[in-house]
């Protein structure tokens, strides 16, 4: 049995009658001379849930996310509520899909409030109701950055820019929200705060959210679904505790790891050493 089949979690149902969400079929992506994702198939990623992409550096996480957004060369099918995103023009696709990169463009001299209003207008769809200034300020307050409303983007710290980027993404009311390492520049307080907010907004807005993180404990605590990649291949797919196991950690990350529960019942990963270390 191949490693892919060996580590892939068994589906609990045959999708039942669920049709709302994202399906990835025979999807390949990458660069003209460097394919990264090859013939990827993922069952329905449902609305209202957070899917976490895990994998070591170079496994294809960011490439997959950019390709879902239409920013990388790709082939195959991406069915969002049964509609193929691959057949849409980039502008029409951008009405449904919002991608937040690891960092915002440098040198943008706009107030935070202005940048969010610009992002909202860039959503393109006339059917989407535009938020009022009061609603925009309420979103900033949820993120804990309402005091930055009149600050310039090019004067913010990396973490503050990430929070503004999240506000810009949410204000566009996407059906598919793609977040590439949104916690990388945030301290522990904001990491928990942002993931808690992303969960609430994903549920409230009933959107498909896909997040790239490096911290496996974040996936265990905040993810509803985990896709684990290695060298562009899907190694495991399922609920966090089905996917994150000692076997998959050894196969994908090359580490001996344990998953234990803290005194409050939350699962945590503990690393004991490297695979191949004779002292382990």
For residues 256 and 274, the answer to whether their CB atoms sit within 8 Å is yes
Question: Do 183 and 106 sit in the same domain of this protein?
Answer: yes
Beta bridge partners of 270: 258
Token look-up 């040198």 returns 107
Average pLDDT over residues 235-263: 96
Question: Do 258 and 188 sit in the same domain of this protein?
Answer: no
**For the chain, how many structural domains are there in total?**
2
pLDDT at 129: 61
**Cα(82)–Cα(94) distance, integer angstroms:** 17
**Helices assigned H by DSSP within the chain:** 3-7, 61-68, 90-96, 112-121, 133-142, 158-171, 188-205, 216-222, 240-243, 246-248
CA 127 to chain CA mean position, Å: 25
Residue 224 gets which letter from DSSP? Answer: S
Residue 6 has pLDDT above 50, yes or no: no
Residue 15 has pLDDT above 50, yes or no: no
Question: Do 80 and 195 sit in the same domain of this protein?
Answer: yes
Question: Do 208 and 249 sit in the same domain of this protein?
Answer: no
Of the two residues 83 and 133, the one the predictor is more confident about is: 83
Residue 3 has pLDDT above 60, yes or no: no
**Average of per-residue pLDDT values in the chain:** 89
pLDDT in tens, 171-220: 999 999 999 999 998 999 999 999 999 999 999 999 999 999 999 999 99
Question: Do 254 and 220 sit in the same domain of this protein?
Answer: no
For residues 74 and 25, the answer to whether their CB atoms sit within 8 Å is no
pLDDT at 250: 97
Question: Do 188 and 253 sit in the same domain of this protein?
Answer: no
pLDDT in tens, 16-67: 445 799 999 999 999 888 899 999 999 999 999 999 999 999 999 999 999 9
Residue 130 has pLDDT above 80, yes or no: no
pLDDT at 127: 53
Question: Do 131 and 257 sit in the same domain of this protein?
Answer: no
pLDDT in tens, 266-278: 999 999 999 987 7
For residues 68 and 244, the answer to whether their CB atoms sit within 8 Å is no
Domain that holds residue 267: 245-280
Question: Do 201 and 257 sit in the same domain of this protein?
Answer: no
pLDDT in tens, 194-203: 999 999 999 9
Collapsing DSSP to helix, strand or coil, 134 comes out as helix
Question: Do 114 and 249 sit in the same domain of this protein?
Answer: no
Question: Do 35 and 47 sit in the same domain of this protein?
Answer: yes
pLDDT in tens, 101-115: 988 777 788 999 999
pTM: 0.90
pLDDT at 128: 59
Tokens of 141: 């307050």
Kindly report the CATH number assigned to the domain that includes residue 96.
Answer: 3.40.50.300
pLDDT in tens, 249-259: 999 999 999 99
**Cα(130)–Cα(94) distance, integer angstroms:** 16
Average pLDDT over residues 223-238: 97
Cβ-proximal residues to 103 (8 Å cutoff; 6+ apart), any chain? 158, 161, 162, 185
For residues 246 and 257, the answer to whether their CB atoms sit within 8 Å is yes
Question: Do 98 and 152 sit in the same domain of this protein?
Answer: yes
Question: Do 236 and 249 sit in the same domain of this protein?
Answer: no
Torsion, Cα 208 212 218 222, to 10 degrees, reads 0
Determine whether 73 is exposed, middle or buried from the number of CB atoms within 10 Å of its CB (0-12, 13-18, 19+): middle
Determine whether 79 is exposed, middle or buried from the number of CB atoms within 10 Å of its CB (0-12, 13-18, 19+): middle
């Amino acid at each position: 049995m191949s490693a892919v089949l060996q580590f892939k979690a068994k589906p609990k149902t045959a999708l039942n009658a669920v049709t709302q969400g994202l399906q990835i079929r025979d999807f390949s992506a990458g660069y003209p001379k460097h394919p990264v994702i090859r013939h990827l198939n993922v069952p329905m990623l449902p609305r209202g849930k957070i899917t976490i992409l895990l994998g070591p550096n170079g496994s294809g996480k960011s490439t997959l996310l950019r390709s879902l957004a239409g920013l990388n060369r790709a082939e195959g099918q991406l069915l969002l509520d049964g509609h193929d995103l691959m057949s849409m023009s980039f502008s029409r696709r951008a009405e449904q899909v919002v991608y937040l990169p690891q960092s915002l463009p440098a040198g943008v001299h706009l107030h935070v409030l202005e940048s969010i209003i610009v992002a909202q207008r860039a959503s393109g769809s006339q059917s989407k109701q535009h938020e009022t200034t009061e609603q925009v300020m309420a979103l900033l307050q949820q993120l804990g950055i309402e005091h930055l409303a009149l600050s310039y983007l090019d004067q913010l710290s990396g973490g503050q820019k990430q929070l503004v980027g999240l506000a810009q993404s949410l204000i566009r009311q996407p059906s598919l929200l793609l977040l590439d390492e949104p916690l990388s520049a945030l301290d522990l307080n904001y990491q928990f705060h942002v993931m808690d907010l992303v969960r609430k907004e994903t549920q409230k807005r009933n959107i498909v959210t896909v997040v790239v993180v490096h911290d496996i404990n974040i996936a265990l605590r905040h993810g509803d679904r985990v896709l684990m990649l290695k060298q562009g291949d899907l190694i495991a797919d399922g609920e966090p505790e089905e996917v994150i196991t000692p076997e998959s950690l050894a196969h994908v990350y090359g580490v001996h790891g344990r998953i234990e529960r803290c005194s409050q019942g939350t699962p945590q990963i503990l690393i004991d050493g490297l695979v191949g270390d004779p002292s382990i």
